[in-house]
Structure formats: structure tokens, C-alpha cells
Structure 1
Amino acid sequence: MAVGLVIALAGCTQQQMNGWLPGTEETKDVTNHTSRIVGLWTTSWIVLLAVGLIVWGLIIWAAIVYRRRKGQTGLPVQMRYNMPLEIFYTIVPLILVLGFFAFTAKDQSAIEKPFDDPDATIHVYGKRWAWDFNYIDKDNPQDSVYYQGIQAQEEENGSGAIDESQLPTLYLPVGKKVEIELSSRDVDHSFWVIDFLYKKDMLPGKTNYEYFIPQKEGTYQGKCAELCGEYHSLMLFQVKVVSDSEYQQYLDTLREQGKVGLLGNEYDTNTNEPNNQAPVEASSENK
């Protein structure tokens, strides 16, 4: 059986080996949490598939063995209450549930553990239907910078495709400890970078956090994962994981553009519908 399993898996791609999860096409992890999340996902599926095969196997076996045969009449022998079987049917599911809970809690605790001294702190504001990013300088708050995004726009050629050059873009330094603060200015949103394999709700009046280390440079797609209104499907963004020097250059570019300070949580729902002009940039605070 082991030999057959090895042969079967030999032809699988890296992504197939990792349960077809996004961001696992290559051997290098996208973040420091990738292996942990993939391990929990694939192990859970293996256990559940094994349980499913056993259950369906027993159902099919019972249907064949205890089927009504030609010439039989009347009711089959009726089984009485069987205490050992009832205990078995109770204990095994309980063990499975407790096991899944224990491993999930262990991994979630590790993923949610805050960094003592993050290298980059970014406050992300969700708003209908776009994103704002505050790049916070904790040592020198007056040097903090911000980026204000608009919702996704279609390309002007009428193809209906999204113009990715206008998508809100979040820059992250590769190999650095990143702390993301998540807030909403209006309704419930959800911050989801697809290849990071993790998402977190953004709730009005509450700040949630994510902690991770980006480990592979590249451009990743993100979106709101909580139905938030008419243009929810256009609440898209990009994440660019770049070298630390390029990250610092980007922050300097924002300073040169006068985007110094921090955007607040003032209600400012984005009203630029597709193909309409974006609204004038809101003023920032703490300049």
C-alpha cells in the first residue's frame, strides 16, 4: 500500500501535493505560516477522507450482505439496542472533534501570536468599496505615510477586464516581521490575500490584527471576503512583496507626493462607480 501511494504521488505537482491550495505552486513558502496552514488543511482532508471511505464501505457492505434475497418474505431480524455500538458511535466522533479542535487551536495560536518588535506596521482601513493603507513609523510618528485607494476600475477598451494599474496596492518588505492592523469605516469587510491562505474580518469600532513574515517576492491578489454591498466584487487590491530597499523607496515616494500623516477612521464610503471618475482624495490627519 505504501509503495502504491508513493507511485501515485510521484506524478503530482507541488500544488496538488499541498491540497490544490493557492500560493503553493513552488516549494518556497509565501509566508512563514504557509507550511503550518497547508499541513492542517491536508491532514484534515486525509483523516476525513479515510473516515468517509470506512463509513461508505460499511454502508455498501451492509447493503450487499443484508439485502433481501429471492424467496425471502416478511421482515428481517430486528436488531435490539446495542450499548457497545452506541458507545463506539459516540466516542469515535467525539475523539475526531476534539482532535480537530486541538490541532486547529494550536496552529491558530501560533499564527495569531503577536511580534514583540515588528519591522513594519501597517493600518489597513476597509471602506465601501476600496482600501486605505497607513504605513506607521512607530519611532517617528510624524514620518508616517499613507496611501488612499479607489475601487477596481474596468479597462477603457471595453473588454470588461479589471485595470490592475489602478488597484489599491499594499507594499510589504520581504523577510521582515509585518503587523497588519485592520479596521472598517462603515460595514463589515474581510481582508484576504489569497495566496497568504488567511483572512481576517474588519469590523466597525474594532481593530483586528495579523502577524506574518512575507518570504517570497511577487505580486499577490487580494479582495474583500465579506459581502459588503453593491460593489463588493470590485473591492479588490494587490500586495507587492519587495526587497526592503524597494519598500523604503516606496515610502519615500509617498512622502515626496505629500502623503505624510495618517488617515483616520472618518466615514468616507467610496462612491466612484465603475468607469466613473474617482473622488477627490480625502484630507489626512496628524500631518
Structure 2
Amino acid sequence: MRHNRRLRWAAVPIAASLSLVLAGCTTAQLNGFLPGFEEGQPPVTDNTERVSGLWVTSWIVLLVVGIITWGLTIWAVIAYRRRKGQTGLPVQLRYNMPIEVFYTVVPLILVLGFFAFTARDQQEIEQPFAEGEDVVHIEAISKQWAWDFNYVDEDVYSPGIQGQLSDEGPAGSLVESEIPTLVLPVDAHIEIELNARDVIHSFWVVDFLYKKDMIPGKTNYMYVTPTREGTYAGKCAELCGEYHSLMLFNVKVVSESEYQDYIQSLRDKGQEGQLSSEYDRNQNLPGTGAPQLKEEE
């Protein structure tokens, strides 16, 4: 009884200290220093908090496991060190069923827990928007080494070239105006259809905390709702050739009126219609409709 009372009194200051520390954390600290968060601002998308929650919780669990493991290791090194005058081997511990079961069950629970929470969040993030919802349809087409964007509903497109190195400024700096830009309306449901023209690429908007592979002959989709206006860096996250590092793009989240103005500017440039698979390099892939080569008998 007295032992339980001592534990209770010890838990009170620990809980109070933990609450005080967490209350003083900034938004960046509470979200594991991940991009996509600013003090006093909403997250960049409707999915960023879910991803950061999984990240932070996983690290907390791993830190607790690490502290316990290292604590027991250090304790064993000190408690069972060889004393002066001792010779021979100490008593060996072996075939201890309770300890072996513990060492098997605990890691299994951790692995299953990480898998369950990851699968839960992935299912939510990958869930298509419900039928009848107002959705903006975008097609992003990757190519060595740039991006084309089709605004499907408005039947306009924006072609892109790979990032261009600047002759001015620091070495390796880029001409920002030459980087392809995908413009999205804020607070709108966005469905991005992802296709590749040549090799495997990966569509990654850093502040969205999510990326999706783009595989020739296969169409993937990304579902996201941008919730904060701004310009966010994007890049290819799959090594795709010599100029992979220059395969950059920007995502600009704007108001609905600015979005409509941008669409009109594409029409004014004569960029009406859609960029299609006619520019694909892999015309003999299964599913493209091209005749397939047959092996000789």
C-alpha cells in the first residue's frame, strides 16, 4: 500500500513536468520538425497532420524502447562487471522461457502496432473522394526531366521544361521562372492523376508530406485538399537519369478567383486541349494499344 502511494506521488510531478514541456512546444516541435507547418497557420493540406501524427508517435514509442534497452544494457554492464579478485566465467543465464517469450512478444506487438496504424492512415489518405463531391481533376505527366500538367476540367494544359541553371547568382542556382508550376485552388478537393512517359518517376510535394510513384503503363492517383495558400517546392523522388536533380516543380495554392485567372491565362496563350500519350517514348508497353513483338518459335 505504501509502495503504491509512493508511485502515485512520483507520477504527479512527472506528469506535471511533461505537460509543462509539451505546452511550451512550438508547432514545429509538436509535429516533429516536419515541413508543412507554420506557427499560427493551418497545415498545408488535410493530410499533413495525420502524417506528422504517425511520425511523432512512432518516434516517441521508439525513444521509449531505446531508453529502456540502453538503460538495461548500461545497468547490466555496471551491475555484473568483473570485480577485483573474481576469476572464471559468471553464472550463465540460458533457456529462461519467460524472458525468451517476452523478447519475442514485445517486438511482435510493436511491429503489428506500427503496421496497423500505418495501414489505417494510408487507407484514409488514399481514399478517393465520394461521388457527387466537387472535385478538381488534374493530370501530372512526368518525363525526363520535367513535368506537364493537364487541367482536365478546364481542358487546358501547362507544358514544362527541366530546371534551368542560372548564369547569375551562386553556382548551381536555378531560374525560378523556368521551373514548371502546378496551380491549385485552396480548400478544393484535388484528384491528381499521375502518369509517366518514359521511366519511373515520383511525384513529391515536400510540404504535403506525401509522394506517389509514377510508373510507365500504370496510372496512380493522389487525393488532397490544400488548406493554406502559398508556393511549395516539389521534385522527383525517384532516381530517373542524368538530370534527375533538375526535375523540379512548384505547387502554387491560390484563391478560387486567382485560379480562374490562371486558367484564362493558359487559354490566352493558346494552350487549350490536353497533352496526351502520343508523346510517350514507351509505345510498345502493354496497355498502350501498340502491336506487341512476339518471340519467334
User: Which among 9, 24, 29 is matched to residue 16 of structure 1?
Assistant: 29
- Residue 19 of structure 2 is matched in structure 1 by 6
Q: Which moved more, 1:10-19 or 1:247-256?
A: 10-19
Question: Are residues 1:134 and 2:146 paired?
Answer: no
Q: Which amino acid aligns with 1:7?
A: L
Write the mapping of 1:174-193 to structure 2, written as runs, cut at 5 A.
174-193=186-205
Which secondary structure does the structure 2 equivalent of 1:199 belong to?
Answer: strand
User: Which among 142, 156, 165 is matched to residue 167 of structure 2?
Assistant: 156
Give runs of ≥4 in structure 1 deviating > 6 Å. Answer: none
- Residue 217 of structure 1 is matched in structure 2 by 229
| C-alpha deviation, 1:233, in angstroms | 0.5
* Equivalent pair of 1:118/1:179 in contact (CA under 8 Å): no
Counterpart CA distance in 1 for 2:97 and 2:169 is 68
Question: Are residues 1:35 and 2:49 paired?
Answer: yes
Counterpart CA distance in 1 for 2:126 and 2:62 is 26
Write the mapping of 1:199-218 to structure 2, written as runs, cut at 5 A.
199-218=211-230
Which secondary structure does the structure 1 equivalent of 2:67 belong to?
Answer: helix
- The CA deviation string for residues 197-252 of structure 1, in whole angstroms up to 9 with x for no partner, is 00000000001000010000000000000000111000000000001111111111
Counterpart CA distance in 2 for 1:60 and 1:167 is 53
- Residue 84 of structure 1 is matched in structure 2 by 98
Which secondary structure does the structure 1 equivalent of 2:277 belong to?
Answer: coil
Q: Which amino acid aligns with 2:43?
A: D
Cα RMSD (Å):
1.4
| C-alpha deviation, 1:80, in angstroms | 2.3
| C-alpha deviation, 1:163, in angstroms | 1.2
- Residue 280 of structure 1 is matched in structure 2 by none
- Residue 104 of structure 1 is matched in structure 2 by 118
Counterpart CA distance in 1 for 2:111 and 2:134 is 35
Counterpart CA distance in 2 for 1:188 and 1:3 is 51
Q: Which amino acid aligns with 1:212?
A: V
- Unpaired runs of 5+ in structure 1? 138-142, 270-287
- Residue 3 of structure 2 is matched in structure 1 by none
Question: Are residues 1:123 and 2:135 paired?
Answer: no
Which protein shows a greater Rg? Answer: 2
| C-alpha deviation, 1:256, in angstroms | 1.3
- Residue 25 of structure 1 is matched in structure 2 by 38
Calculate the TM-score normalised by the size of structure 2: 0.86
Counterpart CA distance in 1 for 2:114 and 2:46 is 22
- Residue 227 of structure 1 is matched in structure 2 by 239
- Residue 287 of structure 2 is matched in structure 1 by none
Write the mapping of 1:255-270 to structure 2, written as runs, cut at 5 A.
255-267=267-279
Counterpart CA distance in 2 for 1:168 and 1:40 is 31
- Residue 196 of structure 1 is matched in structure 2 by 208
| C-alpha deviation, 1:11, in angstroms | 4.2
* Equivalent pair of 1:125/1:265 in contact (CA under 8 Å): no
- The CA deviation string for residues 170-199 of structure 1, in whole angstroms up to 9 with x for no partner, is 000000000000011011100000000000
| C-alpha deviation, 1:265, in angstroms | 2.2
Which secondary structure does the structure 2 equivalent of 1:32 belong to?
Answer: coil
Counterpart CA distance in 2 for 1:198 and 1:176 is 18
Counterpart CA distance in 1 for 2:107 and 2:184 is 43
| C-alpha deviation, 1:17, in angstroms | 1.6
Counterpart CA distance in 2 for 1:238 and 1:205 is 25
Q: What percentage of aligned pairs have identical amino acids?
A: 65
- The CA deviation string for residues 100-153 of structure 1, in whole angstroms up to 9 with x for no partner, is 11111111000000013352111000101000001001xxxxx50101001111
Work out the number of aligned pairs and report it.
264
Q: Which amino acid aligns with 1:157?
A: E
- Unpaired runs of 5+ in structure 2? 1-13, 282-297
Which secondary structure does the structure 1 equivalent of 2:239 belong to?
Answer: coil
| C-alpha deviation, 1:2, in angstroms | 1.9
- Residue 64 of structure 1 is matched in structure 2 by 78
